[in-house]
Structure 1
Amino acid sequence: MKTSAIIAAIACTSASAFAPASTARQNTALNLKVGETAPDFALEDQNGKTFKRSAAKKPLVVYFYPADSTPGCTVQAKAFQEEIQSIRKEFKADVVGISGQGAESKQKFAQELGLDFSILADEKDAVRKEFGVPKAAFGFLPGRVTYVLDKDGVCTSVYDNLGDAASHIEKAKEALAEMKPAKKAGFTLPF
């Protein structure tokens, strides 16, 4: 009798996995959309410093990743590290990575990879929830989403792709390039 009750409970719980697509989308929809102002937040980075979103008065790439020191997250962090100087110089922007592990985990991860940008500890996933980052892999993993914000904190781009971690850097740079003001053609009048 206990076995049949357990099977029934599992069947009822599993039924939501086969819900129509429209219902599933509602549960995993991104809350922060292009054109909206990102929530303000203050989180501790790998160096014990507090990073506050509203204090960054320049464009900002905010990327959420599942966990420190995992294969995909390592690829993603390395890709951002390879481009961080270019992002800072060419786009006058900065990058922060956010996941749910604590500051000690962030410190170890940053040291392993030689990261020159802040990775932030969102231990209770409060900021992840404020941004509305959806769960991935049928709700089992924290999602991998990159947001590009302008200097006022307005979202200009959202990129959601769990499987291709390295692609986030190119999408972020494309969004930053679109925000970059066009240079005026320099010319001198002949009189």
Structure 2
Amino acid sequence: MYIKTALFSLFAASATAFAPANSQVKSTQLNLSVGETAPDFSLTDQNGKVVTRSSIKKPLVVYFYPSDSTPGCTVQATEFNESINDIRKTYGAEVVGISGQGVESKQAFAKELGLTFSILADENDEVRNAFAVKKAAFGFLPGRVTYVLDKTGTCVSVYDNLVDAKSHVEQATVALAELKESAPAPSNPFASFFSK
């Protein structure tokens, strides 16, 4: 029995040694870091509207969540929905949620909660993979990660917390406040006339 186990282990080790590089498991590190430009994407929301990241010329909160109509995701969407008017008015920003279910699921989820921001259908997880959102719960669940992007699409904040869905809204607004504070003041072309 020992020899059989040893031979099997040797065979398995040598087989993986000669496997092509692209067959290896992808890293679970978050790919998009602060200071990097977010991948562009075009996805359909609950209203059938195609939302393209690069066409949004204002700060953008992009949050990835595991699944529509689950307890934590319902809490997260509700919290963002309750804060959306303040996010738009105070920070001039927009919010989009992304998960792997289709448009019909998004429609039902948005209707159930009365969502007034876009939740996007990423059915093949292409955008999730482009952002390299790591899996959670030992790889069994899609991760819950929130990115805050400036108006050029550059990442200014990454927040990763599967369990505390509500905290994502707070962390996003903190990042938006810091972004607003660091923005240069708008110039006044008439200021030179009044400074004399």
TM-score normalised by the chain length of structure 1 = 0.82
Q: Which residue in the other structure is 2:56 paired with? A: 56
One-letter amino acid of the counterpart of residue 41, structure 1: F
Shift of 1:125: 0.1
Shift of 1:27: 2.9
Q: Which residue in the other structure is 1:167 paired with? A: 167
Shift of 1:28: 1.5
Please, which runs of 5 or more residues in structure 1 have no aligned partner? Answer: 13-25
TM-score normalised by the chain length of structure 2 = 0.80
Q: Which residue in the other structure is 2:152 paired with? A: 152
Partners of 2:71 and 2:181 lie apart in 1 by 36
One-letter amino acid of the counterpart of residue 135, structure 2: K
One-letter amino acid of the counterpart of residue 150, structure 2: D
Partners of 1:132 and 1:95 lie apart in 2 by 19
Q: Which residue in the other structure is 1:96 paired with? A: 96
Residue 107 (1) aligns with residue 110 (2): no
Partners of 2:149 and 2:29 lie apart in 1 by 19
Partners of 2:34 and 2:181 lie apart in 1 by 19
Shift of 1:52: 0.2
One-letter amino acid of the counterpart of residue 174, structure 1: V
Shift of 1:51: 0.1
Q: Which residue in the other structure is 1:43 paired with? A: 43
Q: Give percent identity, aligned residues only.
A: 68
Partners of 1:122 and 1:85 lie apart in 2 by 25
Residue 34 (1) aligns with residue 28 (2): no
Q: Which residue in the other structure is 1:73 paired with? A: 73
Q: Which residue in the other structure is 2:124 paired with? A: 124
Partners of 1:190 and 1:117 lie apart in 2 by 43
One-letter amino acid of the counterpart of residue 52, structure 2: K
Partners of 1:107 and 1:28 lie apart in 2 by 31
Partners of 1:43 and 1:68 lie apart in 2 by 16
Partners of 1:83 and 1:170 lie apart in 2 by 9
Please, which runs of 5 or more residues in structure 2 have no aligned partner? Answer: 13-25, 186-193
Residue 179 (1) aligns with residue 179 (2): yes
One-letter amino acid of the counterpart of residue 67, structure 1: S
Per-residue CA deviations over 1:65-122 (Å, capped at 9, x if unaligned) read 0000000000000000000000000000000000000000000000000000000000
Partners of 1:190 and 1:59 lie apart in 2 by 32
Partners of 1:75 and 1:108 lie apart in 2 by 16
Alpha carbons of structure 1 residues 109 and 181: separation in structure 2 relative to 1, 3 Å: same
Partners of 1:59 and 1:49 lie apart in 2 by 19
Q: Which residue in the other structure is 1:17 paired with? A: none
Partners of 2:127 and 2:163 lie apart in 1 by 22
Partners of 1:87 and 1:175 lie apart in 2 by 11
Q: Which residue in the other structure is 2:191 paired with? A: none
Query: What is the DSSP-based 3-state SS (H/G/I as helix, E as strand, rest coil) of the residue aligned with 2:36?
Result: coil
Taking only aligned residues, the RMSD between alpha carbons, in angstroms, comes to 2.2
Alpha carbons of structure 1 residues 154 and 190: separation in structure 2 relative to 1, 3 Å: closer
Shift of 1:181: 3.6
Larger radius of gyration: 2
Alpha carbons of structure 1 residues 111 and 34: separation in structure 2 relative to 1, 3 Å: same
